[in-house]
């Protein structure tokens, strides 16, 4: 698992005045499921195009499976399966025929191509629709067919650009599980490209956050959260009941920040308090849950619930966006 299957070094792509990818360096190890996350226009697709040699980098180098994509794209494309965003198939051909066509383009003889296409169609669960015209497929079926299309060349790496676009939520989950299952089965390296957070979080080993052509952070989700929220690793969310307002020293109907700061002065390790309606976010440097609960109750506030927040990709993502937009 130690060898690097994708190596990007100082990769830069400039379109006129726009820098789409800015000195990107990234390595992905064999067998990894990696997700490249970023908003629209972050340069994800451009990066992928450069990996496949479909567009030339302005500077920097790309090596996929040890082959330079810029000088030898054919060899790279032989080993890498790419599912483009909004993939399409020939409407007049059946799903099976579409797959056979791709197989033949990859130099698989007709006989074997058909057999293989049949197996893959079954694997992605399209057996019933195999002989239907691709023009009649639903979006979800197209994506499944796209996955089969990517796998038919026996790739070492599969790159999926927004694979979950246009599929309904249950479909997304099934689809991603299918990808991971198939990749584990065949020992594939998977590179996702997405802005779909939750589900990617469930399936990928490592994440790279990509904004404005730059990789802001990479690592698994836990590592990312630790790095990002290093100042205040613990956030405790407290739900407050407004109907109980006989709090001692409570100025009125609302719990004001000043009052809260006052009562929490005694609790050690509190960094910041943020209050919105009946929800309170308390950032602290240690796990101060019990102290917070005690203080609140003693102060006579109605405490509905107390919740220690786990960081998900969502938070990481938005946190970075805030940063990205400000800069």
Partner 1 sequence: MNTNIRKNDTAMHPFRVIVHKEISDHVSSWRFIILISIIVLTCFGSMYTALSNIRTAITADDADAPFLFLKLYTLSDGTLPSFFVFVSFLGPLLGISLGFDTVNSEQNKGTLSRILSQPVHRDYLINAKFVASLTVISVLLFALGFLVMGLGMIIIGIPPTPEEFLRMVFFILLSILYVAFWLNLAIFFSVTFRQPATSALSCIAVWLFFTAFYNIIVNLIAKAIQPSVMASTNQVFRYQELILTLMRILPSELYSDATTVLLMPSVRSLGPLTMEQVVGAIPGPLPLSQSVLLVWPQITGLIAATVLCFVLSYVSFMRREIRSR
Residues that bind partner 1 (CB under 8 A): 45, 49, 52, 54-55, 74-75, 77-78, 80-82, 84-93, 96-97, 100-102, 104-111, 114, 146, 149, 153, 161
Minimal distance in Å, beta carbon 151 to partner 1?
A: 13
Residue (81 or 213) nearer to partner 1, CB:
81
Nearer to partner 1, 75 or 237 (CB): 75
Inter-residue contact 20 to 55 (CB < 8 Å):
no
Nearer to partner 1, 109 or 252 (CB): 109
Minimum CB distance to partner 1 smaller for 93 or for 306: 93
At closest approach, how far in Å is the CB of 49 from partner 1? Answer: 7
Neighbours of 163 (CB within 10 A): 26
Name the residue nearer to partner 1 (CB basis): 74 or 128.
74
Smallest gap, in angstroms, from Cβ of residue 195 to partner 1?
A: 16
Q: Which is nearer to partner 1, 89 or 317 (CB)?
A: 89
Closest CA to 122 of 138, 145, 101, 100: 145
Q: Long-range CB contacts (< 8 A, 24+ apart) of 127-136? A: 129/95, 130/94, 130/95, 130/96, 131/94, 131/95, 131/96, 132/94, 132/95, 133/91, 133/92, 133/93, 133/94, 134/89, 134/90, 134/91, 134/93, 134/94, 134/95, 134/98, 135/91, 135/92
Of the candidates 178, 171, 174, 204, the one whose C-alpha atom is nearest the C-alpha of residue 189 is: 204
Please report, for residues 26, 170, 221, 239, the alpha-carbon distance to residue 208 in angstroms, rounded to integers and kept in the order given: 9, 25, 9, 33
What residues contact residue 68 under an 8 Å CB cut-off, 6+ apart? 61, 62
Nearer to partner 1, 161 or 291 (CB): 161
Please report how close the Cβ of residue 111 comes to partner 1 at its closest, in angstroms. 6
Q: Tell the smallest beta-carbon distance from residue 97 to partner 1 (Å).
A: 5
In the bound complex, what is the minimum distance in angstroms from residue 27's beta carbon to partner 1?
22
Nearest to 139 by CA among 88, 81, 98: 88
Least Å distance between CB 119 and partner 1? 15
């Amino acid at each position: 698992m130690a060898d690097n299957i994708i190596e990007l070094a100082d990769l830069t792509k400039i379109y006129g005045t726009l820098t789409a990818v800015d000195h990107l360096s990234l390595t992905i190890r064999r067998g990894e499921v990696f997700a490249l996350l970023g908003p629209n226009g972050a340069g994800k697709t451009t990066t992928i195009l450069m990996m496949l040699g479909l567009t030339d980098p302005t500077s920097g180098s790309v090596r996929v499976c040890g082959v330079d994509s810029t000088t030898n794209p054919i060899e790279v494309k032989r080993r890498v399966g790419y599912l483009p965003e909004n993939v399409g198939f020939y409407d007049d051909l059946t799903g099976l025929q579409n797959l056979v066509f791709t197989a033949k383009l990859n130099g698989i003889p007709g006989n074997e191509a058909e057999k293989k296409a049949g197996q893959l169609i079954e694997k992605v669960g399209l057996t019933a629709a195999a002989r239907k015209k691709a023009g009649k497929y639903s979006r979800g079926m197209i994506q499944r067919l796209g996955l089969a299309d990517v796998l038919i060349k026996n790739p070492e790496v599969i790159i999926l650009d927004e694979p979950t676009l246009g599929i309904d939520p249950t479909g997304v989950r099934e689809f991603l599980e299918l990808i991971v299952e198939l990749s584990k089965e065949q020992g594939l390296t998977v590179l996702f490209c997405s802005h779909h957070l939750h589900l990617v979080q469930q399936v990928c080993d490592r994440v790279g956050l990509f904004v404005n052509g730059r990789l802001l952070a990479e690592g698994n989700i836990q590592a990312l959260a630790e790095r990002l929220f290093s100042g205040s690793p613990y956030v405790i969310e407290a739900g407050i009941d407004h109907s109980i307002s006989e709090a001692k020293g409570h100025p009125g109907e609302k719990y004001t920040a000043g009052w809260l700061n006052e009562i929490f002065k005694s609790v050690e390790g509190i960094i910041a308090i943020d209050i919105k309606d009946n929800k309170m976010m308390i950032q602290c440097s240690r796990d101060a849950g019990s102290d917070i609960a005690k203080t609140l109750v003693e102060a006579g506030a109605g405490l509905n619930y107390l919740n220690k927040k786990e960081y998900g990709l969502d938070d990481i993502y938005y946190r970075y966006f805030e940063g990205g937009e400000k800069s």
